[in-house]
Structure 1
Amino acid sequence: MSERILVAVAWPYANGSAHIGHIAGTYLPADIFARYHRMKGNDVLMVSGSDAHGTPVTISAEERGVTPEDVFSQYQAEFLDDWKRLGITFDLFTTTHTDNHTRVAQDMFLRLHEKGYIYKDAMVQPFCLTDNRYLADRYVEGTCPHCKHGGARGDQCDNCGRTLDPKDLIDLVCKICGNPPEFRETEHFFLRLSVFEEQLLEWVRKQDHWRSNVRNFTIGFLEGGLHDRAITRDISWGVPVPLEGYEGKRLYVWFEAVVGYLSASIEWAESSGNADAWKDYWQGDCRAYYFMGKDNIPFHTIIWPAMLLGYEGLNLPYDVPANEYLNLEGFKLSTSRNWAVWVPDYLDRYDPDPLRYVLSANLPETSDSDFSWREYVRRNNDELVATFGNLVHRVLSMVNRNFDGKVPDPGELDDVSRELLDEAQARLDTVGTEIEAVRLRQGLSAGMGLAQAANRYLDQKAPWKAVKEDKADAARTLWVSLAVINCLKTALCPYLPFSSDKIHLMLGLEGSTQDAGWNWDRNQLAPGQPVEKPTPLFVKLDEELIEAEAQRISG
C-alpha cells in the first residue's frame, strides 16, 4: 500500500543567489528523498517557495534603490531556473507574496488570537534617531550574549543557533547607518509560546527517529524555558495584521513564513483542480518531513509545532532532518565576502550530476562538512568517470562490438554471476532503507558499492579475452553486467537523475528511470533486445581547474 509523504523544504530569502551550502543543507536532500518515494509509488507532495517578506529582502532593496518586489521577483525567477537545471523537483515552488499566502497566514493569526494564544503587550524596540524608524530584527547587529560572536542579528545568532531579541545584543548598532539606536516602547502582538512548553517537551522526547543533533538541541532549548515572542513588527512590507487599527503593522516573518508550507499546499491543491487535496497531507494519514539547515531547527521543532498545536486539526512534523553546515575550502561560506560557489554560475559551466554526486557523498548530516574543488575533481574523475561511467561505457561497447548491439544470451549462470545479481538486489534494498531513514550519504555509498563490485566482476571474468576463446562465457558476463547496470541506474536515480536517464535510454528502454519505479527485474533485458551505442556519462576534468576555481572564489 502506498504512503502519503509531505516534503516541506525551507524557504530561501529572495535577496540573493543560491550557493552550494543551501543545496547541500536543504534542497538536494529533499529532492533525493522525494524522488525515491515517488519511485516507490508513494503519494508525494514537495513544496517550498521564496521568502519575499524577510528583512534581508527589504535591506537589499534599500541598498540597490529598488522596490522589494523588484528584488524578490528577480530571485524567484532565478531559483526556478536553478531547480530546473539542477533537477530539484518541487511540485510547487511559490512565494510568500501571494494573496493565497496572505489569506492563510492571516487565518492562522486570527485562529490563534481567538483562542487566546496571541495577545497584545507593550515592548521596547530599537529606534534609530538618524533614520527615524523602528528597526526590525535584521536591521540591527551586535555581539551574541551567549557565544560572544560578533555580527549576530536581532533575531538569531548564526554561530550558536540561539534565537535572540535585539535588546539581548551587546554593542547594538543600526545596520543602515552604524549608529547605536535607542529603545522605545511600542505595542505588538505576542505568541503565547510558554503555554506549549510541557506539551512540546513530551512530544519531542518521543521522537526517537530524529537525528540526535536535532532532538538534543530541541530538548535543551525547551528545558531552558520557552518565552512568549512578539509576532508583529512596525514595518510596511509583508502580511498585514488582520485587525482593525493595526494596519501599519505586519506579521513578523518568522511567524508567517513557516505558514508557507501550509499555504503552498493549499495553492498546489487549488491549481491541481481539487481544492481540498491539501487536507490529505495535513489532516490525514501522512508523514511530514521538514528539510532545512541547523539554523532553522527551533522554528520547525518548537515554534511551528506550537502554532499547529494551538490551531488544532493539523499534523505535526514527523521528522525534521536538519543538516549541519557545509564549508568551502576549510572556511565558512560567506555571501558578504563572496566566499561561495554560486549555483547559477556553476550550472553555466558544469553538468548538474557531478555536483549532486559530490555534495551527496559529503552531506553535513551529523556534523559540518567541507567542499573543495580538489575533492570535486577527484570524485568526478575517480568515482564518476573511472568507476561508474567506465563500467557502463565498456560493457555497452563490448556488447555493440561483439554481439551486434543486442543483449546476449547468458545461458546457464555460474556461482559468481548469481552472487553479483543477489548483491545487486541487496544493495538496491539497502539504498532504499537508508534513504527512507534520511541517511542519504550511506545510501549513495551502498549504490556506488555495487558499481565497484561490478567492476571487480568484469576484471575477474575478463570478457574481452573470453570473447576470443569462449564466447558463451563472455555473453554470460556481459548479460549479468547489463542487468547490474540496469539495477544501478535505479539505485542511483535519486542522486544522479540525468545520468540515470541516459543509461535507461542506452539500455534500449522507454520512458524514464523515475517512471520505471523503484524495482528491478534481473531478467528485464531479454536476449536479442537492442541497446544503444554508449556515449560518455561524465567528463574527465583537468586538475588545472582546481587552481582556476580557487582564484574565482578569492577574486
Structure 2
Amino acid sequence: PIHIGHIAGAYLPADIYVHFNKLMGRDVLYICGTDEHGVPITIRAEQEGISPKDVVDRYHQEIKSSFDSLQIEFDNFSRTSLSEHYAISQGFFKELLANDYIETNVEKQLFCEDNQKFLPDRYIEGTCPHCGNERARGDECPKCGKWLEATELKNPSSKLCKSPLVIKETQHWYLRLDKLQGKLESWLEQKDWKDNVKNFVLGWFKDGLKPRPITRDLAWGIPVPLDLPEAKNKVLYVWFDAPIGYLSSTVEWAAKKGTPEAWKGYWQDPTTKLVHFIGKDNIPFHAIVWPAMLMGQTTEYILPSEIPANEHLTVEGEKISTSRGNAVWIPEFLEDFPSDYLRYYLAVNAPENKDADFSWKNFQNVINAELINIVANLFNRVLSFTFSRYAEQVPQFKETKANGYDEQILDQIKSTIRKAKKLYGEFRVRDVTREILDLARAGNQYFQDNEPWKMVKTDEERVAVVLNVCIRLIEALAILYYPIIPKSSQAMWEALNMPFPLENSRLEMIEDMSDPGGRPIRQPMPLFAKVEDLVVTKHL
C-alpha cells in the first residue's frame, strides 16, 4: 500500500514533471509498475496462508487505486510478475554472463535451522561494523549508508528465526561492478545531478565497487536461466530484476498499442531523456547498479539522464514507520480531504534537498492560508463580480483605458511563466509553487487596489480592463498550477469556459496570451473548502 512518504519521495515529483513536459508539447512516456518479488511478499503470503501471487495481485490493485485517486496517471502501469518481464530479465542476465560481467562465488549466508531456510538480508538486524549502529539491516546500514553483507553484522538476529543464526555456504552469481566502475565514473563525470545523488555515488566510487550477488535462495521470483544443478531453486535478486521493469513496462505499453517495436524509439534512441524519480534509499540501485547492468548488455540501451532523488518525509517529526503506525495512508487521507490538498501540500513541502516533515496543523495552515485565502479568493472575487456585472462575459480590454499597473501585472504573468518553465525543468517544485502563489497574491492586490466595486459606478470601461487582466492572470494560474493541482486547475479552466481543453494547452501560448473579451463565462463554484480544526484533530 502507498503512504504519503512514497508520494512525496518519487511519484508526485514525477507526475508534476510529466504534466510540465506535456505543457511544453514534448513527447513523454510515463512508465511505472509494481515490484512483485522479494522476501516481504513470501512472508506476507505465509502469514496469510495464501500464495505469493495472491498477495501481489491484491497489492497491485490497491496501489493502482491509490495512484488513480491522486490523479497520478501512468501511460502504463505494469508489474514484474508478468511473463514478458521474466523473459527480458533473464535475457539481461544471459547477456551480462556472456560478456563476462557475471561470476559465481560460494558465499556464506545466515541460515535458520528451525525452518531450514537461508534468511533474507533485510530481515536480519545487527550492529553495523562501520558506524556501530545497533539496528543495521543485513543489506545496508540506514545510519551511515554503507551497503553490507549480513554476515558482516555483529550479533545478527532475525524475527523470522527463534534459534541462533548459523552460517552456511551457498553458491550464487555476482554482478562484476568492479569491472564496470571505470565506465560508470566516466559517465557520471558528464552529469550535473543534484548534490545528494552525486555525492552518494562518489562515496561508493571512493570505496571501490565490488561484485554484488544478483541471485538468492528463494522459491518466489524469476528463475536463474541456467540449466545447471547449482542454479536449481535460485532466483534473480529483486534489486536486479526490479529496474528492468522500466523496460518491460515500455515493451508492454508498445504491445498494448499494437505497435510492438515502438519501445525501441525510446530505449534505443540516444536523444531520449530517461529520468528516474526515486527516494534516496534507491540511489545506489538507480545510479550505480542499473546503469552498470545497461552498460554490460550487448543490446544497446540509453542510460539514465537524470535521477532527481528526494530525501525523506517524516510525520509529526518522526520517521515514517508502518510497524509503529506512524504513517498517513492515501485512502485514509482521501476520506477527509480532496486529492489536490495533498498534492499541493507535498509540493510546497517537498523533501527535495533535505528531509521535510508532514504536520497536520501546518497542512491545515498552508491549505487555508494559500489555496483558500489567496488562490480561491482571487478566483471567486473576480469571476463572481464579472459574472454579475458584465453580462456573464469576459470584459473587453480597451488600450485607451489601460495604465502602467496593468502592464506591470501582465509583465509579471510573463516573467512567472519564464521562471516556472526553468524551475519545473530543474525539478524545483517547492520554488515553482512559491512563484505561482506570488502571482496569485499579486492578482489579489491588483484587484483590491483598483476597487472595481467602487469604480464600476463611474468608469465601467476602466473596470473592464481590470477584470480582463485579472481573468488573464487566472487563465495563467490554471495552466501553471495544472501539474500540481490538476482537478482544481480544471475547475478554473471550465469556469473560464476556455475554447480548448486544459490538457491541450501549452505554456508557450500564455506568454503572449491576450483575451479579446466577449467569451461567456460560467458562474463560479467554490474551489476549495476550509480545513476545519475538528477534522484535523481526528488525525492527531
- Please tell me the TM-score bracket, short chain as reference: over 0.9
The one of 287, 290, 293 aligned to 1:307: 293
Q: Is residue 200 from structure 1 mapped to residue 187 from structure 2 by the alignment?
A: no
Q: 1:162 aligns with which of 146, 153, 156?
A: 146
Q: What secondary structure is seen at the aligned counterpart in 2 of 1:94?
A: strand
Aligned partner of 2:90: which letter?
A: Q
Alpha-carbon separation, structure 2, partners of 1:142 and 1:253: 22
Residue 135 (structure 1) shift: 1.3
Structure 2 counterpart of 1:45: 29
- 1:368 equivalent in structure 2: 355
Task: Report the CA distance between 1:231 and its aligned residue.
Answer: 0.7
Q: Distance in 2 between matches of 1:439 and 1:525?
A: 30
TM-superposed deviation, 1:58: 1.5
Deviation for aligned residue 1:178:
4.1
Pick aligned residue for 2:164 from 180, 183, 193: 180
Is contact 2:174–2:212 with CA below 8 Å preserved after alignment?
yes
Contact 1:381–1:540 (CA under 8 A) maintained in structure 2: yes
Superposition pairs of residues 18-417 of structure 1, within 5 angstroms: 18-207=2-191, 209-245=192-228, 246-284=231-269, 285-312=271-298, 313-412=300-399, 413-417=402-406
* Identity, % of aligned positions: 39
Distance of 2:482 and 2:104 partners within structure 1: 52
Contact 1:435/1:443 (CA < 8 Å) preserved in 2? yes
Deviation at 1:530, TM superposition (A): 0.4
Single out whichever of 359-368 and 506-515 deviates more from structure 2. Answer: 506-515
Q: Secondary structure at the match of 1:290?
A: coil
Equivalent pair of 1:405/1:530 in contact (CA under 8 Å): yes
User: 1:79-98: CA deviations, max 9, x gaps?
Assistant: 11111110112111111100
C-alpha displacement at 1:270, in angstroms?
1.3
Q: CA deviation at 1:545?
A: 2.9
Residues 444-483 of structure 1: pairs in structure 2 closer than 5 A: 444-483=433-472
What is the total number of aligned residue pairs between the two structures?
Answer: 533
The answer to whether the 8 A contact 1:161-1:294 is kept is no
Following TM superposition, by how much is the alpha carbon of 1:337 offset from its aligned partner in structure 2, in angstroms?
0.6
For residue 404 of structure 1, give the secondary structure of its aligned residue in structure 2: coil
Residue 495 of structure 1 aligns with an amino acid whose one-letter code is I
| Cα shift readout 1:57-83 (whole Å, capped 9, x = no counterpart) | 122222222221122111110111111
Aligned residue among 483, 490, 493 for 1:494: 483
Task: Provide the residue aligned with 1:3 in structure 2.
Answer: none
- 1-structure distance, mates of 2:153, 2:45: 25
Q: Is the CA contact (8 Å cut-off) linking 2:19 and 2:483 kept in structure 1?
A: yes
Q: Secondary structure at the match of 2:15?
A: helix
Residue in structure 2 matching 1:419, options 408, 414, 428? 408
What displacement does 1:162 show?
2.5
User: How far off is 1:349 after superposition?
Assistant: 2.3
Query: Contact 2:114–2:162 (CA<8 Å) still a contact in 1?
Result: no
Q: Give the drift of 1:148.
A: 3.0
Q: In angstroms, what is the RMSD of aligned CA positions? A: 1.4
Offset of 1:142 from its aligned partner? Answer: 2.1
The residue that corresponds to 2:519 in the other structure is 529
Q: Secondary structure at the match of 2:174?
A: strand
**Are 2:397 and 2:516, in contact at CA under 8 Å, matched by a contact in 1?**
no
Equivalent-residue separation in structure 1 for 2:171 and 2:327 (angstroms):
40
**How far apart are 1:113 and its partner, in Å?**
0.6
CA shift in 2, pair 1:57/1:159, >3 Å = farther
| Deviation of the 1:431 alpha carbon | 0.8
Q: 1:343 to 1:158 in 2, by over 3 A?
A: farther
Structure 1 position 524, deviation (Å) = 4.9
Helix, strand or coil: the match of 2:327? coil
The answer to whether the 8 Å contact 2:277/2:308 transfers is yes
In the alignment, the residues of structure 2 paired with residue 341 and residue 462 of structure 1 have an alpha-carbon distance, to the nearest angstrom, of 44
- Preserved CA contact (<8 Å) 1:142 1:151: yes
Tell me whether 194-203 or 295-304 shows the greater mean CA deviation. Answer: 194-203
| Amino acid corresponding to residue 337 of structure 1 in structure 2 | R
Between the aligned partners of 1:476 and 1:511, the Cα distance in structure 2 is 23
Matches within 5 A, 1:4-15: none
Moved more, 504-513 or 458-467: 504-513
Q: Structure 1: which 5+ residue stretches go unaligned? A: 1-16, 551-555
TM-score when normalising by structure 1: 0.94
State the Cα distance separating 1:52 from its structure 2 match.
0.6
Alignment check: 8 A CA contact 1:128 1:174 kept = no
**Contact 1:56–1:138 (8 Å) recurs in 2:** no
Kindly provide the CA deviation profile for residues 406-448 of structure 1, in whole angstroms up to 9, marking residues without a partner as x.
0111212211111111110110121111111111111111111
Structure 2: distance between partners of 1:81 and 1:220: 38
Q: Does residue 1:434 correspond to 2:423, yes or no?
A: yes
Separation in 2 of the partners of 1:272 and 1:157? 43
Partner of residue 543, structure 1 = 533
Distance in 1 (alpha carbons) for counterparts of 2:412 and 2:479: 14
Structure 1 letter corresponding to 2:150 = P
